[in-house]
Structure 1
Amino acid sequence: MEKFNFKNIKRKAGKLFENRLQAARVLEVRYWEPSTLIEVDLHMPFADIAKWDEVPYIKFKVDDLTFRDYTPSGWDAETSTCTIYIDAAHKGAGSTWARQLETGDTVSYLKIGSTYHKPVATSAVVALGDESSMGHLLALQKMVLPNTRFSGGLVIDNEHHRRLFHEYFWSPLEPVARRDNFGHHSLMEWVLQQHYSIENTVFYLAGNNIMVTQLRKMLRQQGYPSGQIKVQGFWS
C-alpha cells in the first residue's frame, strides 16, 4: 500500500492543478527603474478577452502550488493580448517569478475571474489604490465612459515612478506620494483636497488589505455610504 505522507498529497494536488492550467506567452518585459515595478505584455490565445466587461484578474502559477492574482491593465480582444503590472518591491513568490520572466517565456495560469468592479452610472467614479493595484485602476479607467467621470489617486512610494507614470499614461489618476506605511492616510488627505460630493461619488478601492480596510473606514467617517465604496484588497 502506498504511504500517504505530505509529499504524496502535495504531488497529487499538484497534478490536479496542472491538468487545469492554461498557457500564455510573454511578449515583452519592461522594468521601471528602479526595477521594483515590472510591466509584462502577454499573448493569451485561450482567454475569451471579449467577455471582460468587469475588471478581471488572472491567477498565475508563480511556483509549485503557489498562485498570485494580477489584473490586466488593458487588453485587446482581436490580438488576445494584455498587460499586467507587478509590484516587486517586496520579497515573495510573485516578485521572484516576475523578476525571472523573459520575452518568449511560457507562463501558466489557473483561471481568469472577475473582481466585480464595474463603473456604475454616476457622475463621479473615483479610484484609489497603490502600486499593487496600478493595473486594476487602469483597467477601471478603460471601462469608464465618458472618461470625464473618472478620477483618482494612486499612492506610489518612489518619486521616479511617479514621474514615469505621468510620462507613460494619459490618465486622470494622480500619483500621490506615500507618507505613511500603507498609504491610506496619504490617499485620504488627497481625497479631502478634491472636495467630492457625497451624493454622487462612488469610490473603488484596490490595493494592500490594510490600506483598503482603513481607507474604507475613513471614507465612512466622512459620511460616504457603504454602498458607494467598492473594495478589492490584495495580500502583500
Structure 2
Amino acid sequence: METSILQQIKNKAEKYLGPQLLQTGRVLEVRVWETATMVEIDLHLPSADMQHWNEVPYIKFRIGNSCYRDYTPFGWDAETATCSLLVDTAHEGCGSRWAKHLSAGDSVQYVKIGDTHQAPHPTNLVVGLGDASSLGHLLALQQLTLPGIRFDGAVLLDSPHTGQLVREYFRSPVNTLTTRHELANWLLKQGYCTAHTSFYLTGNRELVVELRTLLKNLGHTNIQAKKFWS
C-alpha cells in the first residue's frame, strides 16, 4: 500500500511539473553492437550548451512513466549540438528496454544536463578505469584530456569480442580486459608515477572499491571515484 501511495505521488508530481522541466532531443541513429550487450545512440540536442562541458557531463533522461536514468554523453560536437550515448544492456531494466527500442527519428526527453564532478587534471597523466557501464564515461574523459597523449586507461568488458569492437569503433588508448584479475595485473605492471598520475574510477560499486584499495596500497592518492550502482 505504501509503495502504491508513493507511486501515485510521483505520478502526480510528474503530471504537473514534468512538462515544464522536460527538454527534447532527436535520435539520429542507433547501432546495436553485434553479439555484444551494448547499444550506441547518436542524438541531436538543440538546447544543450556543449561549449561549456568542461567536466564529464551526464544527462538525466526520461525513459518511462516516472522513470529516469543518467547517461554520459561522449563524442560530442558543440557546433552541431550532437553527441552519442553507450548503454550497457546486460542488466534487465527500464533503461535497457528504452535503449533497445529506440530508432532513428524518435524523440527523447530529458530533465537536465549536469556535471559528474570529474574533470581531467590539467597536467598529470589521466588514467580512467571502469567497466562496461562506464565505457561512455571513460571516452568522455578522454575527449576532455588535452593533449590526448596524457590519457590512458583500461575497461572491464564481458568478452574479448566486445573489446575488439571497442578498438575498431573508437580511436582510444583504453585497454580492454575481461576479468578483474587481468585488470589488477595490468594495473600493477604499469608503474605509474604516484606524484604525477590522477586516477578516475567509474562503474560497479564493488569494482570501484577494489580498485581504490589496490591503488592506495600502491601509494597513489590522486584518486576520484564515481559508483554507478551496487
State whether TM-score is above 0.5: yes
What TM-score do the two structures reach when normalised by structure 2?
A: 0.93
Amino acid at match of 1:32: W
Cα-to-partner distance string for 1:164-208 (whole Å, 9 max, x where unaligned): 11111111111112x2xxx4x442221111111112111011111
Q: Percent identity?
A: 50
Q: Is 1:54–1:116's contact at 8 Å kept on the other side of the alignment?
A: yes
Matching residue of 1:93 = 94
Structure 2 match to 1:68: 69
Partner of 1:231: 225
Give the 3 Å change call, closer, same or farther, for CA 35–162 of structure 1 in structure 2: closer
Alignment-derived partner of residue 190 in structure 2? 194
Residue 10 of structure 1: aligned partner: 10
1:59 offset after TM fit, Å?
0.6
Displacement of 1:211 in angstroms is 1.1
The equivalent residue for 1:119 is 120
CA distance in 1, matches of 2:6, 2:149: 55
Supply the AA of the counterpart residue of 2:10: K
Q: How far apart are the structure 2 equivalents of 1:176 and 1:66?
A: 32
Residues 139/8 of structure 1: CA separation in 2 closer, same or farther (3 Å cut): closer
Aligned letter for 1:79? T
RMSD: 1.6
Contact 1:73 1:82 in 2 (8 A): yes
Aligned to 2:79, what secondary structure does the other structure show?
coil
Q: Distance in 1 between matches of 2:224 and 2:144?
A: 15
Unaligned regions of 5+ residues in structure 1, if any? Answer: none
Would you say the 8 A contact 2:131–2:203 is kept in 1?
A: yes
Q: Which residue of 1 aligns with 2:83?
A: 82
Deviation at 1:10, TM superposition (A): 3.1
Question: Which amino acid in structure 1 is aligned with residue 96 of structure 2?
Answer: S
Aligned pairs, number:
226
The yes-or-no answer on 1:50 pairing with 2:51 is yes
TM-score, normalised to structure 1, is: 0.91
Please tell me the residue identity of whatever aligns with 2:30.
V
Q: Is the 8 A contact 2:36 2:162 kept in 1?
A: no
The list of structure 1 runs, each at least 4 consecutive aligned residues, that deviate by more than 3 angstroms after superposition, is: 5-8
Residue in structure 2 matched with residue 156 of structure 1 by the alignment: 157
> 5+ residue gaps in structure 2?
none
Higher mean displacement: 8-17 or 64-73: 8-17
